[in-house]
Amino acid sequence: MKRLLVLLAAGATAVGLTTLAGPSAQAATGCKVDYTITSQWQGGFQAGVKITNLGDSVSGWNLKFTMADAGQKVVQGWNATWSQSGSAVTAAGTDWNGTLPTGASADLGFVGSFTGSNPKPASFTLNGVTCTGSVTDPPTDPPTDPPATGTPVATNGQLHVCGVNLCNQYNRPIQLRGMSTHGIQWFGKCYNDTSLDALAEDWKSDLFRVAMYVQEQGYETDPAGFTSRVNSMVDMAEARGMYAVIDFHTLTPGDPNYNLDRAKTFFSSVAARNANKKNVIYEIANEPNGVSWTAIKNYAEQVIPVIRAADPDAVIIVGTRGWSSLGVSDGSNESEVVNSPVNATNIMYAFHFYAASHKDDYRAAVSRAASRLPLFVSEFGTVSATGGGAMDRASSIAWLDLLDQLKISYANWTYSDADEGSAAFKPGTCNGSDYSSSGVLTESGALIKSRISSTDNFPTS
């Protein structure tokens, strides 16, 4: 059966073609094309084109090839919708032969014209896959695979704020426990496949906070480069089933409005790029300081809509006054936020502490605030607020017990080998490949690892 379909003027631009899906990442692909010049005459020829699908069944196909000589044109084709643009020829499957099960063939053909010689095309692609006559199996472990069963992201799915809690896909409150990077501009070498495997598998971390400083040789020096580094760290977390907090690590200057334009640029980009991921949480200003809650709130109300426009359902963390102390470090308290919350939904407020510096009065503020505000401890240290000094074990344990009891999520500063007490690894660890043995841990690292690696028991119904 020949059905005459499309008559194209030579050189016409391809129009009206259905856009066909390419091969799915999961599908086995492969095809064979037999191109036969069945007859030829002065300036004209007829070609038969037999496509055999060797891969998984395709529904909707698109065969493409390039004429080997610029003077060759499709004049009239059959059993496909034919078009030509320059030397590029497309034949699209029709409603009666658009589905090709494994092993099935479609016989098409066309009448062509030529001005010089009439060679055969060199190669053919079917839905973007070159027809080599053999099958390519799908990658066994593509990096975009859904996380393995049982990981934090596989279990909890897309998160949302419910009341004052962070809730999972079953609308049940959960607590995420994990680690923050140090400044990625300084400690990039600490974030590689081996260290991330250790974080996911040995530490059983639920969470990986990516601290992207804006100043101090950070984002402002190379916006595109830092954006792409953050994105690849989000992917590394996703591949291991961990949540990723994208931390716009403002610190000095303390007024986040100083970086408002940068924040809009950065978040519109990362939110668009990561919108379909379930593992992303946005933290829009690490630690506002020397600035009023009103100014912070104003910043938040400008940045949040930028994220929402691209990624409507992700949880967003808003920094608070006094280095994200809910104002306590500035002599205020949580009431300023309770009385004037950010005008947005699905957000949480950051609370940060350093256990050797921040003790009972700060714990009291968190205990009070926890029933009024959704809190997220996106950064804390076991040491002093400088990031150095000795670990305060008693205060650290009091804090962690409180956070567990209140189901407040946390990330510890830092998963790095910085030469300071807050680092989890001894200096030099990131020059090697051992992130798993107890010998590489600092005192802080050992305590935090023992806390984070205990069973999560996430609710699943």
- Active-site amino acid positions: 287, 379
Provide the minimum distance between the beta carbon of 285 and ligand IDC in the complex, in angstroms, as a whole number.
11
Q: Draw the binding track, 268-297, toward ligand IDC (x: CB under 6 A; -: no contact).
A: ------------------xx----------
Question: Parallel, antiparallel, or unpaired for β 207-213 and 177-180?
Answer: parallel
How many CB atoms within 10 Å of residue 432? 11
Rounded Cα distance, 435 and 195, in Å: 6
Please list every residue from 233 through 252 that binds ligand IDC, using CB under 6 A: 251
Question: Parallel, antiparallel, or unpaired for β 347-354 and 316-318?
Answer: parallel
Return the C-alpha torsion angle 250, 255, 256, 258, nearest 10: -100
Provide the minimum distance between the beta carbon of 191 and ligand IDC in the complex, in angstroms, as a whole number.
16
**Which amino acid is it at 7?**
L
Give me 72's structure tokens.
Answer: 């060759």
Specify the residue, 98 or 381, whose C-beta has the smaller distance to ligand IDC.
381
Provide the minimum distance between the beta carbon of 363 and ligand IDC in the complex, in angstroms, as a whole number.
16
Specify the residue, 3 or 189, whose C-beta has the smaller distance to ligand IDC.
189
Rounded Cα distance, 340 and 334, in Å: 10
Provide the minimum distance between the beta carbon of 211 and ligand IDC in the complex, in angstroms, as a whole number.
7
425 is an interface residue for ligand IDC by CB under 6 A: no
Looking at 76-84, 161-169, 300-308, 416-424, which segment touches ligand IDC (CB under 6 A)? 416-424
Is the Cβ–Cβ distance between 77 and 109 less than 8 Å?
yes
β-sheet bridge partners, residue 208: 179, 244
Is the Cβ–Cβ distance between 83 and 17 less than 8 Å?
yes
**Which amino acid is it at 340?**
S
Question: Parallel, antiparallel, or unpaired for β 129-130 and 124-126?
Answer: antiparallel
Please list every residue from 363 through 402 that binds ligand IDC, using CB under 6 A: 379, 385-387
Residue closest to ligand IDC, measured at CB: 387
Specify the residue, 54 or 377, whose C-beta has the smaller distance to ligand IDC.
377
Provide the minimum distance between the beta carbon of 379 and ligand IDC in the complex, in angstroms, as a whole number.
5
Q: Where are the beta strands (DSSP E) in 127-251?
A: 129-130, 135-136, 160-162, 165-167, 173-174, 177-180, 207-213, 243-249
- Secondary structure (3-state) at 402: helix
Looking at 48-56, 150-158, 330-338, 415-423, which segment touches ligand IDC (CB under 6 A)? 415-423
Is the Cβ–Cβ distance between 248 and 286 less than 8 Å?
yes
413 is an interface residue for ligand IDC by CB under 6 A: yes
Q: Draw the binding track, 298-337, toward ligand IDC (x: CB under 6 A; -: no contact).
A: -------------------------x--------------
- Of 208, 243, 354, 399, the one binding ligand IDC (CB under 6 A) is 354
- Secondary structure (3-state) at 350: strand
Specify the residue, 88 or 390, whose C-beta has the smaller distance to ligand IDC.
390
174 is an interface residue for ligand IDC by CB under 6 A: no
- Of 311, 334, 392, 420, the one binding ligand IDC (CB under 6 A) is 420
Count of chain residues binding ligand IDC (CB under 6 A): 15
Give me 340's structure tokens.
Answer: 């004037």
Residues in touch with ligand IDC (CB under 6 A): 216, 251, 286-287, 323, 352, 354, 379, 385-387, 413, 418, 420, 422
